[in-house]
Amino acid sequence: MFLSEHNSSYMSEPNFENSEGNWDEFANGPYWGESQWRGYLNAADREVARFLSYYNSLKDKPNHLDEIASLMGWDANDISMTNDFSNPELDDEDHVGDENDSSPYTLHKHPVIIVSKALYRYLHQSWDHFLNHQQSEVPALLAWNYANSLHQAETNVLLSIQALDLGDFGLTICHLKNSLHALNRSLSLLDQLQHPNREFLEAFRREIHIRIFDLRELWIRVMSDCRTECQRKPGNDSD
């Protein structure tokens, strides 16, 4: 499963004093200026691009998400919220952080963030390509609603991982439900698109469907593990 870069004790019981987001610990480290953070963000973008490169080559294979996870250096079989996250073994220029691994923990390193950003990068770019190659105008409301559905799903998945980072599994589930609702909205709107070239339209829809269903699978995995964690807590009323 694609889940969290946390230790097992943190995932089983939130501990803000000892979490990887500990600001006191970060404050004792070297100060990072704008240039260091820019390099960090550039490296994070390269990780997204690296995932997308693997994905484009393997997306038609069964169990491709787990295979890509292995190639990324994640544990394809055992990545879960209750296991330590294995950092990918990267080239120096691709490593998110410095060569001594003293870079701060941020959500940019989270596998679910990397996968979601990569697949949404494709969804946004493919929509731009579709609009630029549409011989007749797409109805303005349809174009807005589809773009907004992509935005809403992506925003909520980012918020879900922030909640997961804080150990709030119920809030994580709520945000992922919002993402899934927006994902279903995207699928519904996709069926309303028209294009004079039927082959082009079907190819466009097929590629979008592959990525949307992979996003759905990924988020459902996270929700399932969150529910497992919720059930361990007495008095929890998670649906």
Render each residue's pLDDT in the chain as its tens digit; 239 residues: 444 444 333 343 444 344 444 545 455 556 788 999 999 999 999 999 999 999 999 999 999 999 999 999 987 543 444 343 334 333 444 444 444 456 777 899 899 999 999 999 999 999 999 988 877 788 999 999 999 999 999 999 999 999 998 999 999 999 999 999 999 999 999 999 988 888 989 999 999 999 999 999 999 999 999 999 888 876 655 55
Could you give the C-alpha distances from 216 to 64, 85, 139, 157, 187, in angstroms and in order? 14, 22, 27, 11, 11
CA distance 196 to 125: 21
pLDDT at 28: 57
pLDDT at 232: 82
Half-sphere exposure of 96 (CA within 13 A, CB side): 20
For the chain, what are the domain ranges? 8-231
What pLDDT does 60 receive? 94
Distance between CA 213 and CA 218 in Å, rounded?
9
